Amino acid sequence: MLNLDLTGKVAVVTGAGGQLGRTIARALAGCGADVAVHYQTSKPKADEVVRDIVAQGRKAVAVNADITDEASVLAMRDEIAKTLGDPHIVVAAAVAQYQPWAPVLEQPLKDYESQYKTCVIHNVLMAKAFLPAMIKRKGGRYIGINTECTMQCQPGQSAYIAGKGGMNRMLRVLAREVGEHQITVNEIAPGWMISDRERDAGLKPHPDYEKHTALKRRGDDHDIASAVAFLASDHADFITGVYLPVCGGYVMPAI
């Protein structure tokens, strides 16, 4: 019988006040992990997630950091180490939001810069901050949240997928570099998932999107959290370097 038991583990989730991040943080706690709930601007939501985790009987702390600034990430690392201990699991879910999505010839340069910083630099800094302790421990899990858009390459997506594409290649290299230390590095690529925002606003069908999925429906944030929990568990001990779409078959990596 499979049991996703993370008892005794410490996790840090960036963007844990966000739509997917909050569900991921709660799910890891539900499997037994103590969780550092990172936020940059959404402190009230991060505090709410912390209360939910504590109510589950786990330890949690809200930690603030600019995930594109080295000193800020290192300060967050030190705070987590003092309050919960060195993390066994890193989930990098934070990313800058921007509008509008526009053709390459019209997309402002600042949007490419923000995506590079929050997709690539974010992951570089998290790796530099948290992987040395995993190397000493000879084990750990690093999970990046990517996107199905990286494979779609649809008009208007260029800034977003430029950042996520760079993140993908950086994390694949990292997987090879730290694998000998029994650290796995994987990515989950969500589709257009249902989250609290839509539940609160009232769910509506989106046939133009749903018709492209093999399952003819959208998934939700719990589908992403379940995949994260699996990759964080001992059951994924021999899985690394993976880009795992959780999108109902909208995109399918081929060989």
> Sorting pLDDT into bands at 50, 70 and 90, what band is 3?
confident
pLDDT mean over 24-53: 97
Q: With CA atoms as reference, report the closest residue to 240 among 168, 141, 92, 155.
A: 141
CB 45 within 8 A of CB 13: no
What is the rounded average pLDDT of the residues 174-195?
A: 97
Confidence of residue 203 (pLDDT cuts 50, 70, 90): confident
Note whether residue 102 is domain-resident: yes
**pLDDT for the residue numbered 204:** 87
Read off the pLDDT of residues 135-181 as tens digits, 9 standing for 90 and up.
999 999 999 999 999 999 999 999 999 999 999 999 999 999 999 99
Beta bridge partners of 14: 92
Judge whether 210 lies within some domain.
yes
Evaluate if residue 2 carries a pLDDT over 80.
no
Comparing CA positions, the residue from 116, 68, 93 lying closest to residue 190 is 93
In this prediction, residue 198 carries a pLDDT of: 87
163 in any annotated domain: yes
Does residue 1 lie in a domain region? no
pLDDT above 70 covers a percentage of the chain that reads: 100
**What's the rounded Cα separation, in Å, for the pair 94 and 13?**
8
157 vs 202, more confident: 157
Task: Say which CATH number the domain at 224 has.
Answer: 3.40.50.720
DSSP state of 7: T
5 in a domain, yes or no? Answer: no
Q: Is residue 222 part of a domain?
A: yes
Please report the DSSP string for 152-185 in residue order: H--TT-HHHHHHHHHHHHHHHHHHHHHGGGTEEE
pLDDT at 1: 62
CB 4 within 8 A of CB 230: yes
Does residue 158 lie within any of the structural domains?
Answer: yes
CB burial class (10 A; 0-12, 13-18, 19+) of residue 203?
exposed
Q: How far is it, in rounded angstroms, from Cα 13 to Cα 90?
A: 6
- For 31-154, where are the alpha helices, taking DSSP H only? 43-55, 70-83, 109-115, 122-137, 149-152
**Alpha carbon distance 150, 115 (integer Å):** 13
Would residue 181 count as lying in a domain?
A: yes
Contact 37, 113 (CB under 8 A): no
What would the mean pLDDT of 80-86 be, rounded to a whole number?
98
How many structural domains compose the chain? 1
Confidence of residue 237 (pLDDT cuts 50, 70, 90): very high
Look up the domain containing 136 and give its range: 10-246
